Structure 1
Amino acid sequence: MISPSFVKWVTTGLTISSIGLSIPAALAQEVPTFNWETLTPTANLNWTSCYSGFQCSLLEVPLDYSSDKGNASIAVVRYPATASKSDYLGPILFNPGGPGGSGVTTIVSLGAEFAELMGPQFDIVGFDPRGVSFSKPFVSFFNTAAERQIWTPSDLNLRYPSLNTTSEVTSNQWSQFQLISQLAQERDTEDFFQYMTTDNVARDMLRITEAFGFEKLQYWGVSYGSLLGVTFATLFPDKVGRIAIDGIMDWEAWYSANLTGSMMDTDKTLQTFFDGCVAAGPDGCAFYAPTASEIASNLDALTESIRAEPFPVLTSLSHGIVDYSFFRNYIFAALYSPYNAFVGFAHGLAQLSAGNATEAYTANQVPEFECDCDAPATAFTQNIYESQIVTSCGDASVANDSITDLREFYANEAKLSSFADIWALWRVHCSGWKVHREGRFLGPVGGNTSFPLLVIGNTADPVTPIAWARKASGLFPGSVLLTQDSPGHTSLVAPSLCTHGALRAYFQNSTLPAAGTVCAVDAELFPGGANATATASAKRALLLTEESKLIDAVRAIGDVVSPIASMGRVNRV
């Protein structure tokens, strides 16, 4: 039974994916909840008032669309359109990534901001993909909350060790996820894990759209949500109303459980920190040195120092160790959302260089675990750990890797990026997975859609490179690639009147930006740097009220969605 009072957003463990290196305020706060157990799943959308100003429904869908295996129920929430009936343009579905991110909780936190961005003509719709959070059946590998916490420790050095730490890390991680796979098979007593795949979620989105009384999908998906979008467009090319995808996951990489190519721009993203720090000067960047190469060398020296002598940290909230694995994750985390992270990241590095690890540690700490140890694991509604493994590994072709295979895989990744020691864990997690549905969608993707897709990619995205955005755009004739000139993961890392104005126009007016459009962002990596404050203030003074509202809305959405889009070291995209 869901607690009738409050649900904590993020107690799965703050990991490197906590983009801003600290929990955004919108995530950290307790969000009033709604008791979904009071709803009965139906084949239609029967709306009930919920939360405050929202409407909720449980939509019944087939568990297996090719046979009679029973039903799943999809939790759907909408922030209702406020425009007149004659101006109403239907629902826009949103997926925040993960996989396993809760669309319900996202929209409950951000309904007004999404409406400000998209316009009052739309119902803003969030849904929990099958197996996730408030949808049923609920995916869990564990019988109790205590057992779950033991298997999903929050400390970065425990949960996501660098493969470059010791020679035993790869073999230990391989063994752990062989056991996780066995545990999942044992706990999958209703045999439904095999149906928690991306192609089935795409089919569920069509059912949601049809339940609204519309034939064609209107959808915005970021990070993993982009893969969901291209999968839908491939399966149902004649059902595309408007599909915008942002932070593009490559279908070949995803469906083969080989994300090596995702690291093409990772080191390029780190370079923007070095260059930005130099430009900001000593007053704007606490880790300043006169040249980018000096800053890079200082970071390397600090890394080796921490490898040799980790920092023990005790705070009023928790305790832990800032060691090599923690620090590597700490660096990687900053690359996801540079506009939020770089200033604090630079200060944390400076403190570490001075012998103080408290700031770096507290940026990622969570409270020590407390629970009713007899409480069932299903009492916990944020199950992104399990749902990500079930979906990403269940989607992919079978990966029967030996420990030797995985070490060779890591060696190949290391040729592409210095962050291979962190990213190669993705392959390890799927190496023992045995639950696969026969006939699941494995690609290829592409086709002539009933309306062109809008594809958005950043010039320096650490996990979904711009090359993947170009590739996706080319697979769907007529689609347009909009390039945002910024580091970070997805366009939501920073507001851009150009990017997000084009996104709004795409949904409101059915217009696409010109081919080759490149958009600047309305934000600065180091806003306290030399001349930065005056420049930002001057720009802000020139903005119209509506432009300011759009920027504020995008900034609020990004603060919440960015951590979801990269939730967890397992749940990176």
Structure 2
Amino acid sequence: MLNRSSFVLLAAASTAFALTEFNWTSIEPSTSLNWTACYADGLDCARLLVPLDYASPNNSTTAALAITRFRSTSPSSSYRGPILLNPGGPGGSGVEFAVVYGSEIAGIVGAEYDIVGFDPRGVSFSTPTISWFLNDAERALWYPPNQNTVLPSLNETALGLPYAYARAQVQSQLAAARDADFLQYMTTDYTAQDMLTITEAFGFEKLKYWGVSYGTVLGQTFAALFPDKVERVVIDGVLPIDDWYSANLTETMLDTNQVLDAFFTSCFEAGPSVCAFHNNASSPSDIATALVDLLLSLQQKPVPAVASLTAGNAGYGVVDYSLVKNVIFQSLYQPYKEFPALAQALADLAAGNASTIYAASGPQEFTCEPGAAPVNKMFEAGASITCTDVRLNDTLADLQSYYAGMAAISEFADVWVPVRIACAGWKVHRPGQYTGPTGPTNTSAPLLVIGNLRDPVTSWPGANQTAEVLFPGAGFLTYNASGHTSFIAPSTCLDAYVGAYFRNGTLPPAGAVCQPDVQLFATNASARADGGGVSRRGVPGLTMGGMGTRKGLFSF
């Protein structure tokens, strides 16, 4: 794992919002927060030095965390400190998240707080940055630029899983050979300790935090390691912490098919004038059959696509089963925004025009020319953090069995199991690192857990288990919506509960359920998810990136 509107579970080609207008190297890293105006009015940036190895904090080796704050606008007498954010991944940029959504999140939680995004160690603008390759050309030769958003389906050929397994072992050896000493410190438990260091640098003792998707793993890890340092922690789109550290992601897909069913049902109800893939169907099952037929045809006959041949735009390639399966899966993250565009892309493809869906599959261009945008490293960051967190010794037979179990639950297992396959052969681990909970954790203040009723990659039962079993006393809020995390669509109800929690610790009543303020395939433009929300608003059009959405292989 945001469109309040992505390794393992969940990663944008550096996210959909590539921020290049501020030079982070102009800031000298420091052990205190020395703020510099950046990006836009109301935003400040700093680089905070933290120990690379918290087990040897007096060692001179450090990491420099990139931190951005949307400043509190309240008087100093009512200032309540920082709320830290994490948009998921692992590998998502908290800096970019705060720049894009800081003011809107402040509108929910109150002006008394700084809204703080930080890039976790090894990620994006923080240094040193995780990278397995010597340069962008080597990276692009090993995996295509859209690797962050399109994973080869294990169903596409009989060798799909064995081939992915072999590539993963190459990647594991490459990472260990080039970055082993550094990578062993790129773990969730050390990032959790970084969050405490950041909080203390602001002059506060306890954490205030809102994490989504993989950010819920980070929040749970913090709560498990520092239970007496919890003041307000919201985890939203929950992956249970024990599932993460065991790399057992099967139950994350319990609700995936329900979100796809919501596409068929809402498309049918909207009608052909709103849903382009309707085809005058007589029932939702007719639309489902049309999609199955389209996918089967692609397995037999991929189609050419030429989205653009203009200068500087490599908008051409082949649309195959893997690409379309990934695009459909991605749309399940943000159905309120993406479903209308998905329907149009599928209708165009069925009519012989593959360019629409190809253009949605992520960046296709790579160039060595001076001044070219760097290739995104989110795939490497996500894989490195995830695989260093878990300890696996999977054989090919183990993974085949794991795949069979997940495939029995969801038809999208073929593009989700590669998350675990990517850790095959991974040997980089730190002695003494946190490996998961040994039982329930009682915290100094209760967590607020938010679970969507139909979430494609972090199921509602997992969120419920986290609130009831792993963190007794936590508040639990059900969001009766389809998609990943609460950021998929605006909800006045949900914002009110979150705001009350941050302001005074009030938890939702038992059994509380919120509804979105919009509908799937809404015909009224003002009621569409792209008309408002904390990027629960989104950007019109079918995309495969963005905050809180699946951004690639490691995209929780």
Instruction: Give the secondary-structure state (helix, strand or coil) at the position aligned to 1:298.
Output: helix
1:240 aligned onto 2:246: no
> Which residue pairs with 1:570 in the alignment?
553
Q: Shift of the alpha carbon at 1:556?
A: 4.5
Task: Measure the CA separation in 1 of the matches of 2:259 and 2:25.
Answer: 44
Residue equivalent to 1:49: 37
Structure 1 residues 334 and 137, CA, compared in 2 at 3 Å: closer, same or farther? same
2:510 is aligned to 515
Distance 1:552 1:423 in 2: 28
What is residue 383 of structure 1 aligned with on the other side?
377
Shift of 1:29: 6.4
Contact 2:147 2:379 in 1 (8 A): no
Aligned to 1:192: 182
Deviation at 1:373? 7.9
Aligned amino acid, residue 222 of structure 1: V
Aligned to 1:429: 422
CA 1:149–1:373 in 2, change beyond 3 Å: closer, same or farther? farther
Higher helix fraction: Structure 1 or Structure 2? 1
How far is 1:381 from its partner? 8.4
Structure 1 runs, 4 residues or longer, greater than 6 Å off? 557-562
Paired with 1:343 and 1:55, the residues of 2 have a C-alpha distance of 37
Query: Equivalent residue for 2:434?
Result: 441
The corresponding residue for 2:402 is: 409
Confirm whether residue 463 of structure 1 aligns to residue 457 of structure 2.
Answer: yes
| 249, 261, 266: which one aligns with 1:259 | 249
Instruction: Map 1:30-45 onto structure 2 (within 5 A).
Output: 31-45=19-33
> Could you tell me whether the CA contact under 8 Å between 2:256 and 2:455 is conserved in 1?
yes
Q: Quote the offset at 1:570 in angstroms.
A: 1.4
Q: Please, which of 198, 209, 213 is the counterpart of residue 223 of structure 1? A: 213
Match of 1:298 in 2: 290
1:250 corresponds to: 240
Q: Does the 8 A contact of 1:156 with 1:325 survive in 2?
A: no
| Paired letter, 1:163 | L
Distance in 1 (alpha carbons) for counterparts of 2:49 and 2:430: 21
Letter paired with 1:223: S
Deviations 1:417-464 (A, max 9, x none): 111111111111011111011211111164111111110010100000
Give the equivalent residue in structure 2 for 1:330.
327
CA gap of 1:362–1:469, structure 2 versus 1, over 3 A, is same
Structure 1: state its 5+ residue gaps.
1-11, 541-547
2:349 is aligned to 352
Q: Structure 1 pair 118/51, CA: closer, same or farther in 2 (3 Å)?
A: same
Deviations 1:204-252 (A, max 9, x none): 0000001100011000000000010011111111111100010001212
Please give the TM-score of this superposition, normalised by the length of structure 2.
0.90
Match of 2:111 among 120, 123, 136: 120
1:136 positional shift: 1.6
Tell me if structure 2 keeps the 8 A contact 1:96–1:561: no
Query: Partners of 1:281 and 1:352 in 2: how far apart?
Result: 19
The one-letter code of the counterpart of 2:54 is Y
Provide the rounded CA distance (Å) in 1 between the counterparts of 2:440 and 2:199.
Answer: 21
Q: Aligned to 1:85, which of 48, 63, 76?
A: 76
Structure 1 Cα separation of the partners of residues 375 and 148 of structure 2: 25
1:146-203 deviation per Cα after TM superposition (whole angstroms, max 9, x unaligned): 11222231346995111111111111111111111111112116x1100110010000
2:120 maps to 129
Return closer, same or farther for 1:217/1:262 CA change in 2, 3 Å cut-off: same
Q: Which of residues 358, 369, 383 is equivalent to 2:366?
A: 369
In the superposition, relative to structure 1, how do residues 144 and 301 fare at CA in structure 2: closer, same or farther (>3 Å)? same
Match of 1:175 in 2: 166
CA 1:566 to 1:30, structure 2 compared with 1: closer, same or farther past 3 Å? closer
Aligned-partner Cα distance in 1 for 2:73–2:33:
19
For 1:260 and 1:141, the matched residues in 2 are separated by 28
Query: In the comparison of the two structures, how many residue pairs are matched?
Result: 534
AA in 2 matched with 1:437: R
- Residue 3 of structure 2 corresponds to none
Q: Which moved more, 1:350-359 or 1:365-374?
A: 365-374
Cα distance in structure 1, aligned partners of 2:454 and 2:26: 45
Q: Residue type of the partner of 2:536?
A: R
TM-score in terms of structure 1 length = 0.88
The equivalent residue for 1:4 is none
Does 1:145 pair with 2:122?
no
Displacement of 1:371 in angstroms is 2.7
Q: Percent identity?
A: 47
How many angstroms does 1:131 deviate by?
0.7
CA distance in 2, matches of 1:196, 1:555: 30
For residues 54-100 of structure 1, the C-alpha deviation after alignment (integer angstroms, 9 at most, x for no partner) is 22211111111112542212111111101111221111000000101
> Residues 85, 211 of structure 1: CA spacing in aligned structure 2 closer, same or farther, 3 A cutoff?
same
Aligned with residue 281 of structure 1, among 254, 259, 271? 271
Corresponding residue for residue 202 of structure 1: 192
What is the distance in 2 between the residues matched to 1:154 and 1:258? Answer: 28
Q: What is the distance in 2 between the residues matched to 1:274 and 1:561? A: 20
3-state SS of paired residue (2:55): coil
Query: Partners in 2 of 1:334 and 1:158 — Cα distance?
Result: 12
2 CA distance for matches of 1:369 and 1:241? 45
Q: Which runs of 5+ in 2 are unaligned?
A: 1-5
